[in-house]
Amino acid sequence: VLVSDLPTPALLVDLPRLAANLDRMQARADAAGVALRPHAKTHKTAEVARMQEARGARGLTVATVDEAEAFAAAGFTDVRLATPVAGPQKLSRIGRLLDAGVRLSFTVDTEAGARLASEEFAGRKDAVPVLIEVDTGHGRCGVPPAYVAAFAAAVAALPGLRLVGLLTHGGHSYAGPGADEAPRDALVRAMRSERDGVLDAAARLGAAGLLDPATAELSVGSTPTMAVFEPAERDGFRITEWRPGVYAFGDAQQVALGAVELRDCALVAVATVLSKRRLDDGTEQAVVDAGKKVLTADTGAGVDGYGTVLYSPRTMVANMHARMPRLSEEHGTVETPGGLIYDVGDPVFVVPNHACVAVATRPALFAVEGDEVVGTWAVLAR
């Protein structure tokens, strides 16, 4: 089967570029002396998870109980839910995964949440490992660093839970550079606050006897911050784990942030031109069969439009004259001020802005080598 035989829209994964991205991040984690626990929500496929494991990844990260179940069913038995969990139904599903022998951990960041989890798990033979989520700047989940010690003391006193470490997500790296700030400096700034926020909190817990530097799991990770990671130590504590996800595929958002090169992006949407016309101002417009349901409505710092239009997925050179300024549900508009290179029926190749959400829109990804489709990978837990 050739790419040109696929019904569009479709998401292609370039196998050699994917393999190179996985190799590169694994080598960087190995060199930094940290375990790589890739976030599987980006690819949502057993095939990519197996490629990551084969290269030395130690376990997977997931974002939902659905993903934990799907990857456990696919044979992955070391899974970290990098989020707090609430609600009796989800907690009991976690209990069932633990009963089935899955090494599962999750985060706690409120006393109410920790108490609910404790009530669910207090009767178990083995206490369930939890990490305290720390907010190191992202402003989503997580305990503010000033409260981590008091919260850790409360968690340590709860039956059924075993505090094994701290976790944070450097999602503030997605804000992009400030005025007069170079893109790389912005990534380094976010990485240092992510890393140091966790190390400072760990040192405080170490001093209070609530965490042991010899065994503490200190987990950080976003693709932009891991791209510029620098090791550091506080009172014997060091970062032990990275959880990047997007690095596997790359996307237009990572390119805009300076975390990934366009030529390394492995996920490309292919669409077909359905209609074209010349507008009054001379701009030529093509409408393709890829709208929000594959490219998604995600934008991001420094991103122009709804994806990067390529001249060809082989060269990965951006068509600098083509923009995608508008999407509707099933249609995407490609505009070129200087005249279109596309005719109706032609394929258009686009690097999505946000790989994770794009993947979740499709039932399957197509692994490709050049023009040839070499695999069809089911997308799990959509």
Query: Binding residues for ligand PLP, per CB under 6 A?
Result: 39, 61, 82, 169, 221-223, 243-246
What is the C-alpha R_g of the chain?
22
Alpha-carbon distance 150 to 168, whole Å?
Answer: 18
Alpha-carbon distance 119 to 114, whole Å?
Answer: 9
Q: Considering beta carbons, is residue 60 or 316 the nearer one to ligand PLP?
A: 60
Q: How far is the CB of 291 from ligand PLP (least distance, A)?
A: 23
Q: Considering beta carbons, is residue 39 or 234 the nearer one to ligand PLP?
A: 39
Task: Give, in order, the Cα–Cα distances in Å from 84 to each of 34, 41, 112, 194.
Answer: 23, 16, 11, 18
Reduced 3-state DSSP string for 79-120: EEEEEECCCHHHHHHHHHHHHCCCEEEEEECCHHHHHHHHHH
Q: Considering beta carbons, is residue 257 or 287 the nearer one to ligand PLP?
A: 257
Q: Which two structure tokens, joined as six digits, stand for 365?
A: 């990804």
Alpha-carbon distance 27 to 5, whole Å?
Answer: 36
Q: How far is the CB of 382 from ligand PLP (least distance, A)?
A: 16
Q: How far is the CB of 245 from ligand PLP (least distance, A)?
A: 4
Q: Considering beta carbons, is residue 61 or 361 the nearer one to ligand PLP?
A: 61
Alpha-carbon distance 148 to 146, whole Å?
Answer: 6
Q: How far is the CB of 354 from ligand PLP (least distance, A)?
A: 9
Q: Find out whether 297 and 353 touch, Cβ atoms under 8 Å.
A: no
Q: How many residues does the chain have?
A: 382
Q: How far is the CB of 90 from ligand PLP (least distance, A)?
A: 16
Q: Considering beta carbons, is residue 61 or 308 the nearer one to ligand PLP?
A: 61
Q: How far is the CB of 276 from ligand PLP (least distance, A)?
A: 35
Q: Considering beta carbons, is residue 243 or 293 the nearer one to ligand PLP?
A: 243
Amino acid (1-letter code) at residue 292: K
